[in-house]
């Protein structure tokens, strides 16, 4: 019968090994993101006649980067912009503050940008917070000018749709400038020739490139995408993260 050999690691060697593990640098993206961004919240605001599910890819991408994401829906076709801002966006911001958010970023699609501008007329976000607007009708839309008196348009888009004209007294054109870091992304690809015929210059099928701009914007970017799907475009997902991290888009 062969003798059984036993060998034990000396306690001092075990101690050195464990100490080495504790001192080993942590390069995991997940750990770094969790440590760096666990107090940074991002509110997502979908566009008109859409739901929170339209922002699902953005939600997944931002959560994967370590941000705490609030993606609550709102009745975009049933309430005026002022009510949406106070009754829906306001509580989202309060939820983030109650959770201890140090920064509260906002990423919007289409009408969500106007809701955000309306809310920030009388409110502020914590220092260091940033805003990304995707295809916002910041100076109104010629489609609203042409269609808002039609019964079907009124039925589909509700009171908010009536407010998005291009005249100087329209809601988007009467809001005061924001004191914030704002990045705007818009598209220049349309699948609706009739709508594009109504819109001067380059457009995404709903909003012209020029009318997406704000005088106070920090950065501006045009991608080859249509209004309907731009918030899911791979380049847009990358650029949203880039702006939230750096305050500018990648070139």
Exposure of 150 by Cβ count < 10 A (0-12 exposed, 13-18 middle, 19+ buried)? exposed
Please say if the pLDDT value at position 8 is more than 50.
Answer: yes
Tell me the per-residue pLDDT of 180-233, one tens digit each, with 9 for 90 and over.
999 999 999 999 999 999 999 999 999 999 999 999 999 999 999 999 999 999
Q: Which helix (H) or strand (E) holds 18?
A: helix 11-23
Q: What percent of the chain has pLDDT over 90?
A: 84
Q: Which helix (H) or strand (E) holds 221?
A: strand 219-223
**Which single residue is written with the structure tokens 């749709």?**
161
Exposure of 85 by Cβ count < 10 A (0-12 exposed, 13-18 middle, 19+ buried)? buried
Query: What is the pLDDT, as a whole number, of residue 251?
Result: 83
* pLDDT classification of 110: cutoffs 50, 70, 90: very high
Tell me the per-residue pLDDT of 113-154, one tens digit each, with 9 for 90 and over.
999 999 999 999 999 999 999 999 999 999 999 999 999 999
Please say if the pLDDT value at position 100 is more than 50.
Answer: yes
Tell me the per-residue pLDDT of 9-41, one tens digit each, with 9 for 90 and over.
555 544 444 444 444 444 545 445 545 566 999
Q: Taking phi first (over 0 means left), then psi (-120 to 50 degrees means alpha), and beta for anything else, what does residue 80 get?
A: beta
Structural domains in the chain, CATH included, are 32-246 (3.40.50.1820)
Please say if the pLDDT value at position 1 is more than 80.
Answer: no
Which of 182, 206, 171 is closest to 85 using CA atoms? 171
């Amino acid at each position: 019968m062969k003798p059984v050999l036993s060998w034990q690691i000396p306690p001092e060697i075990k101690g050195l090994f464990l100490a080495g593990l504790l001192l080993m640098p942590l390069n995991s993206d997940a750990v770094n993101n969790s440590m760096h961004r666990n107090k940074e919240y991002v509110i997502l605001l979908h566009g008109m006649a859409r739901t929170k599910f339209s922002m699902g890819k953005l939600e997944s991408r931002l959560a994967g980067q370590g941000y705490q994401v609030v993606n609550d829906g709102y009745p975009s076709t049933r309430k005026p912009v002022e009510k949406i801002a106070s009754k829906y966006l306001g509580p989202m911001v309060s939820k983030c503050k109650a959770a201890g958010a140090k920064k509260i970023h906002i990423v919007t699609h289409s009408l969500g940008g106007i809701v955000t501008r309306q809310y920030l007329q009388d409110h502020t976000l914590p220092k260091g917070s940033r805003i990304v607007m995707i295809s916002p009708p910041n100076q109104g839309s010629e489609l609203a000018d042409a269609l808002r008196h039609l019964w079907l348009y009124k039925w589909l888009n509700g009171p908010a749709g009536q407010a998005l004209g291009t005249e100087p007294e329209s809601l988007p054109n009467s809001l005061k400038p924001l004191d914030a870091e704002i990045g705007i992304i818009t598209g220049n690809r349309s699948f609706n020739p009739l709508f594009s015929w109504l819109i001067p210059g380059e457009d995404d099928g709903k909003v012209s490139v020029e009318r997406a701009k704000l005088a106070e914007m920090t950065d501006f970017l045009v991608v080859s995408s249509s209004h309907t799907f731009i918030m899911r475009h791979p380049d847009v997902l990358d650029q949203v993260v880039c702006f939230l991290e750096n305050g500018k888009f990648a070139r």
